[in-house]
Structure 1
């Protein structure tokens, strides 16, 4: 087995694991995470707009939570969250929420490497 085939298999299996993790977090951890921001105006407004429990609704609600947890200083500076709300979220829950999406960024880079490896370097570069 060549290194390219092994890289392809690992990349493909990795994306399936990553999608499974993202779905798991959206369906099991989102409600718990939103409970820590139950009195936050922005989170409540976002939850009211995306109120149905469809996949797209959970995706957008999770997106706001990821934004808040990944760049808390910007949200604190804008006055959209308080330090008490951020401090109330347990570290384990923050990890469950942030790590799948950080790993997705690494997977995206690996997929770009795979594409260049498979198709060759583009001539326009």
Structure 2
């Protein structure tokens, strides 16, 4: 087994692991996260617009919370969220919200590496 084949297997399995983590966070942690932003107009409007319980709705609701938690200074400066709301979210819950999406970004970089490697080494599929 070549190194490229092993990398391909790990890369392919990784997408299912990441999607599983994202779904777990969306279905078990999203409601708890939104409860910490119950007085926030931006989060509540987003929740009303994406109110159904379908996968895409939960994804976009989680995406807004992810944006708020990953770059809090920008949202505090814009007046969309307060420091007290951000401080009330437990660290473990922040990690559950952010890490699946960070892993997705790492997986995207691994996809670029895989594509470049395959083309430069002229590896047939």
Paired positions, count: 121
Give the RMSD, CA atoms, in angstroms: 0.9
| Counterpart residue number, 1:59 | 59
Superposition TM-score, scaled by structure 2 size: 0.94
| Counterpart residue number, 2:40 | 40
| Counterpart residue number, 2:117 | 117
Q: Residues of 2 paired with 1:76 and 1:12: CA distance?
A: 38
Q: Residues of 2 paired with 1:50 and 1:100: CA distance?
A: 21
Q: Which runs of 4+ in 1 moved over 3 A?
A: none
Q: CA deviation at 1:13?
A: 0.9
| CA deviations over 1:34-66 (Å, ceiling 9, x no partner) | 000001011111111111111111011001000
Q: Residues of 1 paired with 2:20 and 2:85: CA distance?
A: 28
Q: CA deviation at 1:119?
A: 2.3
Please list every run of 5 or more consecutive structure 1 residues that lacks an aligned counterpart in the other structure: none
Q: Residues of 1 paired with 2:72 and 2:114: CA distance?
A: 33
Superposition TM-score, scaled by structure 1 size: 0.94
| Counterpart residue number, 1:78 | 78
